[in-house]
Amino acid sequence: MNFRTVFLLGCLAATPALAQTDSPVDAQVDVAPVVTPAPAPEGTVPLADIQRFVSVYRAVRQGYVDELPDKKVMQAALRGLITDLDPHSAYLNKEQAQGMDEFANGSYDGVGVELVQLPDRSLRVIAPIDGTPAARAGLLPGDVIIAIDGKPVDVDNADAGKSQLRGEPGTKVVLRVLREEQPQPLELTIERDTIRVTSVRVRLLEPRYGYARISTFQSETGAELSKAITGIQSTSKPLLGLVLDLRSNPGGVLGAAVEAADAFLDEGLIVATKGRLPFSNSRFNATRGDLLNGAPIVVLVDGGSASASEVLAAALRDHRRALIMGERTFGKGTVQTILPLDNGDAIKLTTARYYTPSGGSIQARGIRPDVIVKTAHFDEDDNEILPREADLPGHLKAGGATSDGGDGDTAKVTAETDYAIHEALIMLKGLSVFGDKSPAPTPVAPDSDASAAVTKPAG
């Protein structure tokens, strides 16, 4: 910024708008001497910062090429204040704030996708939600949306982008998408629908081997999971193992993930949250009652597994309750709180990091699986094609540590059609052999009848 530009801003901030044809930089204006204010008391906003804000506000109001109403300028200032903090904090207008409530309750009109914003204002897909128009149209984790209905994406935050994707059921939206290894942008036409997300689907893969798919975490997810698993087992035939599928699960309500973990744990810490405000510091502990009575669990994750799904996976692994298979997760280890404002707008503010039972933070690190099962032909993390939290500019560090540098409904796939589920089932059968508490059958000597059973001598 050169001297003329600085002088112009000073004139606009200190004087009324000049009604003249001469260049403002040539106008002679008496500038009052700058008085340095005394330091502000602790906990208050320094007077110099308030004066600087007012100066910039006046400059925009008086000098911007088009006349702007005060409300629009102030909202822009508030959005900028929040948006620059981290990729997940945002200023939400009334419509966007209502959309957050609708998502938590599992019913809204739109396409069904979780997004983050990139520095160029484009939108990156964390994951489409199972069974939604976005999933059916072929939107994939890692896709970058650069245009909506032919217009370049130009929004302040990911929540504003999701608002543009919402609309009346039956209407269509056209997305221009950049995809890894695709030389040209793709155009996907998606027909909006009323999204009523069934977040939990459970079934048997084989007799006594269960499969549970959690596509997102909503307010009732924990209760739905417990009810569904209870429904596929009986006292006489309990499950010998469970595949818990969290792939492309973008997260959601933290409390739902805590309830889901509690369904498989008898005791111990599930997750801790730590922030600066008292309500941001919490510890969530398991209560007695394991639905599977200790039967082994294999959790499937990938680069689209984020936030609440990472809380669940980390809790089960840290308590040695589950084996993690798949790919490294997204690494979103922060908690956002919705703070309503008096005009119906709201602030979505990052208020805490969450910490696993072992005390670690997965923020910008993710969870590295115990057994790697890749969906693409890459061998090293540096070659992974799915973006993660650590790739987002402005991401928070891991609580005092440096950060580590398809179409359709997943619930309909089977062990015969899904390689990861097939591998998980094989692993589960192996684990169940060691976890089975029933008495071993008495070995029978070869070429003899049952009365000649071999027994182990006492002592």
Helix ranges restricted to H, 142-290 = 158-165, 221-231, 254-262
8 Å CB contact between 259 and 295: no
Query: Which amino acid makes up residue 72?
Result: K
8 Å CB contact between 316 and 261: yes
Catalytic residue among 307, 348, 361, 418: 307
Helix ranges restricted to H, 87-169 = 94-105, 133-136, 158-165
Distance CA 350, CA 229 (A): 33
Distance CA 281, CA 339 (A): 17
Give Rg (Cα) of the chain: 28
Two structure tokens written together for 170 = 């039956």
8 Å CB contact between 85 and 99: no
Give the position of tokens 């209407």.
171
Strands 322-326 and 186-191: unpaired
Catalytic residue among 332, 348, 361, 418: 332
Distance CA 108, CA 196 (A): 7
Classify residue 140 by burial, with Cβ atoms within 10 Å: 0-12, 13-18, 19+: buried
Q: Is 449 in the active site?
A: no
Query: Which amino acid makes up residue 18?
Result: L
Catalytic residue among 89, 318, 361, 418: 318
Eight-state DSSP code of residue 173:
E
Q: Which residues contact 178 (CB under 8 A, 6 or more apart)?
A: 122, 143, 144, 146, 185, 186
8 Å CB contact between 326 and 369: yes
CB atoms within 10 A of CB 162: 22
Eight-state DSSP code of residue 343:
T
Q: Is 318 in the active site?
A: yes
Q: Is 418 in the active site?
A: no
Distance CA 416, CA 400 (A): 44
Two structure tokens written together for 158 = 């990911």
Residues recognised as catalytic: 307, 318, 332
